[in-house]
Amino acid sequence: MERKRRARMRRIMAYICLCILWEPCTAKAAGPPHLIQTVTERDIYEGLLALGYLETAALDAPDCGTAYGNVRDCIVQIRMGNANGSGIVWKLTDSYIVIATNRHVLDYWTAERGYVHFPQGFDMDARLIGRSDRADVGFVAVDCGLFTDEELMRIKYARIDEAAYEAVEEGDEMFLVDAGSARRQEQYYVGSVGDKRRYIEEFDAYMLYGHCFAEAGMSGGGTFDGRGYLIGMTTGGTARDETASVPLPDLLAAYEEVVQGTVYDD
């Protein structure tokens, strides 16, 4: 079985590579040879996923505007009747889209009213996976079967690298992505890192503390460094433009606690 799976993946990879090489010749040729037409769009999706091509891009040098353009497709809106929050596309598998959000956002979640709005324009039902007991983090999953294969290829998941988080220093640029909040439009806000791990009494937790604008509805969304790496989950803000985000290491620990080892972790 494992040998068959590997052979199938090699066939998919070869197809994707050939498509890349074939593209400049499309004006002279009617299309790829009949042989590779046996690869389906689902095969292509699985190949792109295996190669990491559906992960958001990251820059070599900080540029928040460009980085926002790279990451905007991985931030979704969690809708629950009259209550809205944000979420981060955390992981894609062959079967599920796993979305991370704040635990307090999911306090409003019900199976009847809860769904996810993707920035690509999709509104999809989701199911609650669970909530962390350690951090203000929870997870929901959207069934890939609700999408066409072409639509799945448009979904992006956040670039996660703990080394990028560890490299963050006080004063570094960061930005928060607004998935819609009360303004009903996507945008981002640039600020700076104050302390990547500060105890904040209101949350009874160590948080990524920053200086940036945030408003209701942004809870559960992404806090990114200037290159587009996810460094935290936006969780709260003040009128003085102070923000608190769940730090990336705590998000990783919450995923391990709630999702890892389940059917959603394929």
pLDDT, tens digit, 9 for 90 and up, residues 105-158: 999 999 999 999 999 999 999 999 999 999 999 999 999 999 999 999 999 999
H or E element, residue 45 = helix 41-51
Domain identity same for 134 and 178: no
What is the dihedral sign for C-alpha 92, 96, 112, 147?
positive
61 occurs within a structural domain: no
68 occurs within a structural domain: no
Domain identity same for 93 and 134: yes
Domain identity same for 148 and 260: yes
Q: What is the pLDDT of residues 29-72, one digit of tens each?
A: 455 555 555 778 888 999 999 999 999 999 999 999 999 999 99
Domain identity same for 121 and 144: yes
Domain identity same for 217 and 103: no
H or E element, residue 16 = helix 2-22
Domain identity same for 109 and 234: no
Q: Which domain holds residue 139?
A: 74-158+253-265
67 occurs within a structural domain: no
CATH number of the domain encompassing residue 132:
2.40.10.10
> Tokens representing 153?
């290829």
Q: Rounded to two decimals, what is the model's pTM?
A: 0.86
66 occurs within a structural domain: no
51 occurs within a structural domain: no
If we measure between CA atoms, which residue out of 108, 136, 137 comes closest to residue 202? Answer: 136
Is-contact 60 142, C-beta < 8 A?
no
44 occurs within a structural domain: no
Domain identity same for 166 and 154: no
Domain identity same for 244 and 258: no
H or E element, residue 125 = strand 123-125
Residue 22 has pLDDT above 50, yes or no: no
Instruction: Give 209-265 as a DSSP string.
Output: EEE----TT-TT-EEEETTS-EEEEEEEE-TTSEEEEEEHHHHHHHHHHHTTTSGGG
Burial 145-164 (b: 16+ CB within 10 A, else e): eebeeebbbebbbbbbeeeb
Is-contact 258 138, C-beta < 8 A?
yes
Domain identity same for 135 and 258: yes
Domain identity same for 261 and 139: yes
Domain identity same for 208 and 149: no
Residue 160 has pLDDT above 60, yes or no: yes
pLDDT at 62: 97
Domain identity same for 99 and 223: no
- pLDDT higher at 171 or 7: 171
189 occurs within a structural domain: yes
Q: What is the pLDDT of residues 209-263, one digit of tens each?
A: 999 999 989 999 999 999 999 999 999 999 999 999 999 999 999 999 999 999 9
238 occurs within a structural domain: yes
pLDDT at 39: 78
Q: Name the domain count of the chain.
A: 3
Cβ neighbours, 10 Å, residue 191: 20
